[in-house]
Every structure is written in structure tokens, then in C-alpha cells.
Structure 1
């Protein structure tokens, strides 16, 4: 069977290759493993909480309705960093397609983490669709505002931890010429570097990146990962380096920063404002071939 469900997780196996799999925790609807022909593509901390006690460190945590810690919006400022989606147990809605195997998870106010919905009581319906291709992984989100009278204001982000061999040999391409906000320097500027390289902690947000730009993780001239986005104009690039990773209790091994880089497609520079009864859709495709997935189907 291509879909297996347990009490805590769902596992997809591609029908053409049993070594191509994706594993999703129901807590947070977090993809924590994606293998292509037996090769793991995502980074997961060895100290990640997999029991539903805390959000997972690694994989693809889901960020909603706020990115980071909001200090200005009266409602959203009450929520913890990155909101409530990664802190809630999602409902497994079942399989929608057999090849490529595709499944869906759902979350709304009624089943979300009650500690969070006490802080942020807005109405929302989320449907996450996960599609496991023979050589790609697609994660898509649909957000509906079920209210009849009130706008829904939110951020969305796929906090994707990609596995790499060595951060110091790794570069990120195709973001030159974009406006970038450096969260560490608290400065915004146009990035004129042809590639992003890593020699220290990096926490930057590229703004309004056109969908035609396929963000690529490259090592020694060879693509390791490509990230294609639909309706996600911002790209966060993050690596905690030594001091930051050393201060995070759930980041293990402490040298793990050498084997990961976060490329995070999102809508975070501004808020999406969704009118009553309306829906908003966005997605990412992760693959190794930048040419094959120029368009999200």
C-alpha cells in the first residue's frame, strides 16, 4: 500500500520505488522525512520532539498565522513565535490520488491547540495537500476564511530544512538583484552577490521574489535541491551556525548546522488579508532538477 496511517503519523511510499517515501506527523502536519531512492533530503534534529509536546525541529514545520513573533498586531501579538499550526494536531483527511500518492490534512479552530485559540480566536480552515512524486515533493496549502463578516489576516511559510553535505561548500543561487532584509543586521538592501555563501549565522528574508526564479541549493557546481514556489513571494534563508545552534536545546547534534540549510518559501513580508468566504492557495515543489519543474501543475 502506498499510504500507511498510524495513531501518530502517515507514511507515503511511491508505487514505483519503495525507497522513495515521505513521513508526516499528525502533530503539526509536519513532514519530518523525505527520501528519494533511499537518500534522505530533509534535516531532522536528533533531539526533535516527536511526541507532540513541542514543535518539531527539522523537516517542514508549518508557520501560520504569524511568522516570528509579532509585536504590532493586537491579536497576533498574543501568539508564540510562528503561530499555532505547528503546535496543533491536524486531522488526516485521507488519500486523494494514488499515483503520485497524494494525501490531505485539515485544521480549523475547533481542533487546533486550545491554548493557542484562546489567544487568537479567528475562524479559519486549512487544508494541506502532500504529493509524493517519483523525484519531487509538493506541499500545498489552502486557507479559507469561513467568517461571514470579518477579514482573516495571516502569514504563511513552509519552514523547510534541507539536508546538505557541508554548509561551507554550499551556495544558494538565483536571488541576485532581489531586495533582502537581513534580520541580524536589521538592514534592507539589494543583494548584488551572484550566490549566497555561508561563513556565519545567516537569517535573511528575500522579498517579492518572482515565481520564475527557481531557488537552487548548489554544491561544487552540482544542484542539491531546487525550490519552486507558487503564490509565495518571500524566501527566508537561515542557518544558525555555532552560537545559535548551541543555545537551542532541541538542536542536535550541535554540529548539525553544517548539514542543513533552511530555504523557506512564504508570505511573510506582508500579511495576506482574506475576505469572508474567500480562499487562498499556495505551494512549493522540492526537487533536484531545476529544469523539469519550471511550472507548478
Structure 2
């Protein structure tokens, strides 16, 4: 059989941290998931990625694998496991829902060992999916429903709790809602990656929120106090006299909630009213005379 270089499969270095391994696995699992990628070979790559993650995410399996890899083996080389390797080390209790390579099973067993003729219970595989929510729900928290296909033409609807202040790209784990286990084993988990839909009023930048506020020329020139929307409701904002378009004012703590709440940045945009009749045109002409020395392009 061929030696499997699990680090190479995930595209990480042998000294990679748990977080780096998790990130690499999620990226590749999304890329090669059979529901999204119909290219030839994508399913085999998806299985290889799952197998690599199954070993490297588990400290004991990773330590044992590293001992074997230290023998100088490289991916694709012929491999014969050391005699007795993995026996009695407890590797066959929670190895996912089967479908592993001969290389994996030669190291960690096949998950057997129950009563004669009875397979050992196995945990189901984790399933990755995504959920889209609006910005207000991300701010407030709440609940949303997610429809999941069961692989047999059916569908189940799950109600998902959204924590307040969740960020795009964060993952919500639903225990036991992944693939069913076998032989009475527990189900895997459902990993939901959160996406936040675009909002007409606000733009999200980390935990900060940006809002473009339209103001009149006289409000910018003379200063004013005007209402400005926030995700928690409207508040009054003081516009300093002499403000220009593009100036940003900060509303402390009015961004996304968290251990350190974000701020809301209010960008001013001066809007000029149209000269719709003679009276309004004369008003602009008088203004021009009063500010004859003003050059907006200077």
C-alpha cells in the first residue's frame, strides 16, 4: 500500500497548529464537497481531506502518525506498518463513518472489536454547510431555519440559534446533526459557516459598521444635530460646523456587540438641493456673490 502524507494533503506544514489544520480542512472540504464540486476526482479528494483531518485533528492519532512519518516515508511510497502498531492504543473508538483508506486502517484499525459478528459503533461524519443571515440578525442574535437534504431525496428543517454579534465566516456547530452514526454510534456534527447579506444602510468592517449620512450644505457649513440610524435604533449626532463630504464621525460602541464592541463610523455626504425655479436660482446666485473668492478645486 502507499504511504499517505496527511500534511501534504491538507497543504500544511508538519508543525502546523490545530487552528491552521482546522482552517485548511474547512477550505478544502468546501472546495471538494460532492454537493458543490462535480469535477471528476473531487469526491476522492474530499475523502482524502476528511481522512487527513481525522488523523491530524486528534492529538493521539497525530502523535502516532508522526512517529511513523519520522521514518522518512513520503506520500506515494510503498509502506508496511510496524508490527502491532495501533493495537491496544484506543484508536478504533471514534474514527468517523468508515470509508478510510487501507493505509489508515493499517495504522488505526477498522473500528471492529465488539462482540463476534457485531461491528463497533462508529460516529457519523461531520457535515459542512452555510447559512445566510441579514445584518440585523447578526447584530441582535435570534433564530433562523436551515433546510438540509438527507441524501435520500428528503429534507429536514433545523432551527439554528444565532448568537448576537456573530461575524461572517464564523462557524456554528450543531452536535449530532451531521451524518448518522453506524451500529448505534452517535451522529456527526453539522458545521454551519455564517454569511451576512449586504445591507442597504450599513457596511460591515470587522466589528465596526459604516453608514453614509446625507446632509444639507447649510448643515455642513453651520453645524447641526441630526438623527442617524444605527443597528440599535436612531441616535442624535452633532455635525461640526465647517464639515466636508468624506469626513467620518465615530459613534463609540455602536457597532457589532462583542467582548470589545465595535464602533459606528458615519461618513458625511453633502447633497445640494436642485435649483428648480427662478427664486431658488437667485438664491444660489446670491450665495455665489457672497463667496466669490471660494474655489472648491483649490
TM value normalised by structure 1: 0.25
Q: Write 1 or 2 for the structure with the bigger share of strand.
A: 1
Larger radius of gyration: 2
Structure number with the bigger relative contact order (C-alpha 8 A, sep ≥ 6) is 1
Q: Write 1 or 2 for the structure with the bigger share of helix.
A: 2
TM value normalised by structure 2: 0.25
